[in-house]
Amino acid sequence: MKKLSTLQLVPGMTVAESVLSYDHQLILSKGTVLTDKLITKLDLYGVFTISVEDTESAEPAYPDAAEAVTLPADLSYSERIRLSPTFQQFKKEYELNVESFRGMVNDVVERNVKLDVGVLLRNSLEVIASGKGQIGILDMLQNMREYDDSTFTHCLNVGLIANMFATWLKWSPEDVETVTVCGLLHDIGKLLVPYTIISKPGKLSAEEYAQIKKHPISGYQLLLGQDVNEHVLYSALMHHERCDGTGYPMRLVNKQIDPFAKVIAIADVYDAMTASRVYRGPLCPFRVIEIFEAEGFQKYDVEYLLTFLEHVVNSYIQNRCRLSDGREGTILAVNREKLSRPFVQVGDEYLNLADYDNLTVSDLL
Ligand SMILES: [Fe+2]
Ligand SMILES: [Fe+2]
């Protein structure tokens, strides 16, 4: 048996010890064979490490698995995005921004320098402007990640996703700016957790795990000394709280959670779930939506989550896709009853994917 970080898991591994959530709810039972969906589900519950069987077959076959996903015969949806000039421009801005963000935040954490929120925000808005269309940002963020899960890129991603999300919620321009800052700084407390723990690929002891779970409180305390909006403070403190009371550190329930923190919670978990894994590229958004539909509505603000998912689906209308049975088609319309199963045209046939138990959108083309 060995303990692995969720980033190291690959489908086919067998769970060696049952995985429980923070509130002792069973997430995966011992003996379960991992699938892509189950691995992604662990992010939804904020699980960092699990134990898997130490057998030959459980050894991750990284190169083969990665090749199978990333080297299709013709250009994939991701590859087309990566080759576009807009993406190249976005990438340049993004990389510049991560560096200046890293410098500014390190100054705050290490030398207690006053944070210039205006500059922080302006830099991030420039990244958004370079991405032009809004859903473009989501797609581009997914393609920015080459297994880089550093706290800085994650925070920048969450800031950019939250910015777009708040415009979908029709928040005022000031609130859109505030929620962007909330995203940028939500995990600042993680920078106080020793890097050796954050980046540790293998086993995390109970104490190390407990230290990671302190990051909302340390982030809040750190930001108390800064001139920031109260929603920024609350987002750092409450982004791991869940509406059903199963989150941490204070196990708040729906009404007690700051609305900005609720938006950040969704942007945060979406960023984690769509990230590339060692065995595959970024996850198809429809798979992420399916997981949210199955388990997200008790945990996240229902109204916010519906708005978020509907907009994500909406942005793929008219997009070509591959279905789970291998057929190709065009996404025609959002299915409000079941957002992960849109209406799709395949040849002359019009399919409501919700009518089929096992027919899903498996890739965007
Ligand atoms: Fe966090
Ligand atoms: Fe986060």
- 251 part of a folded domain: yes
Please tell me the distance from the alpha carbon of residue 236 to that of residue 63, in angstroms, as a whole number: 37
Domain identity same for 268 and 298: no
pLDDT of residue 69: 39
Of 52, 274, 30, which is closest to residue 153 (Cα–Cα)?
Answer: 274
Instruction: State the distance from the centre of ligand 1 to the C-alpha of 75, rounded, in angstroms.
Output: 35
Last residue of a domain, one of 255, 282, 309: 282
Whole-Å CA distances, 49 to 1, 195, 197, 205, 211: 13, 16, 12, 10, 14
Domain identity same for 158 and 232: yes
Domain identity same for 112 and 48: no
DSSP class of 146: S
End-to-end CA distance of the chain: 39
By the 10 Å C-beta count (0-12 exposed, 13-18 middle, 19+ buried), 191 is classed as buried
- 171 part of a folded domain: yes
Domain identity same for 333 and 247: no
pLDDT of residue 145: 63
Ligand showing the shortest atom-to-Cα distance for residue 159 = 2
Ligand showing the shortest atom-to-Cα distance for residue 239 = 1
Domain identity same for 52 and 98: no
**Residue 300, by phi and psi: left (phi above 0), alpha (psi -120 to 50) or beta?**
beta
152 Cβ contact list (under 8 Å, min separation 6):
98, 101, 102, 105
Instruction: State the distance from the centre of ligand 2 to the C-alpha of 268, rounded, in angstroms.
Output: 5
pLDDT of residue 23: 66
Instruction: State the distance from the centre of ligand 1 to the C-alpha of 290, rounded, in angstroms.
Output: 23
Ligand showing the shortest atom-to-Cα distance for residue 238 = 1
278: CATH: 1.10.3210.10
- 71 part of a folded domain: no
Domain identity same for 170 and 226: yes
Which residues have beta carbons under 5 A from ligand 2 (an ion)? 187, 268
How many domains are contained in the chain?
A: 3
136 Cβ contact list (under 8 Å, min separation 6):
86, 90
Instruction: State the distance from the centre of ligand 2 to the C-alpha of 82, rounded, in angstroms.
Output: 25
Instruction: State the distance from the centre of ligand 2 to the C-alpha of 155, rounded, in angstroms.
Output: 7
Domain identity same for 85 and 223: yes
- 350 part of a folded domain: yes
Ligand showing the shortest atom-to-Cα distance for residue 154 = 2
Domain identity same for 129 and 31: no
Instruction: State the distance from the centre of ligand 2 to the C-alpha of 154, rounded, in angstroms.
Output: 7
The residue segments making up the domain with residue 156 are 77-282
Instruction: State the distance from the centre of ligand 2 to the C-alpha of 166, rounded, in angstroms.
Output: 17
Instruction: State the distance from the centre of ligand 1 to the C-alpha of 17, rounded, in angstroms.
Output: 25
- 93 part of a folded domain: yes
- 68 part of a folded domain: no
Please tell me the distance from the alpha carbon of residue 247 to that of residue 250, in angstroms, as a whole number: 7
Instruction: State the distance from the centre of ligand 2 to the C-alpha of 334, rounded, in angstroms.
Output: 29
DSSP class of 34: P
Q: Which two structure tokens, joined as six digits, stand for 17?
A: 């010890």
Q: pLDDT digit of tens for each residue in the chain (365 aa)?
A: 887 777 778 888 898 888 877 666 778 888 888 887 788 778 777 777 788 888 754 333 333 333 333 434 566 777 777 777 788 888 888 888 888 888 888 888 888 888 888 888 888 888 888 776 545 777 777 777 654 557 888 899 999 999 999 999 999 999 999 999 999 999 999 888 887 787 777 777 888 888 889 999 999 999 998 989 999 999 999 999 999 999 999 999 999 999 999 999 999 999 888 876 666 677 888 988 999 998 888 999 999 999 999 998 888 888 899 999 999 999 999 998 899 999 999 999 999 999 998 899 998 88
Instruction: State the distance from the centre of ligand 1 to the C-alpha of 60, rounded, in angstroms.
Output: 28
30: CATH: 3.90.105.10
Instruction: State the distance from the centre of ligand 2 to the C-alpha of 120, rounded, in angstroms.
Output: 18
Ligand showing the shortest atom-to-Cα distance for residue 212 = 1
- 70 part of a folded domain: no
pTM above 0.85, yes or no: no
Ligand showing the shortest atom-to-Cα distance for residue 271 = 2
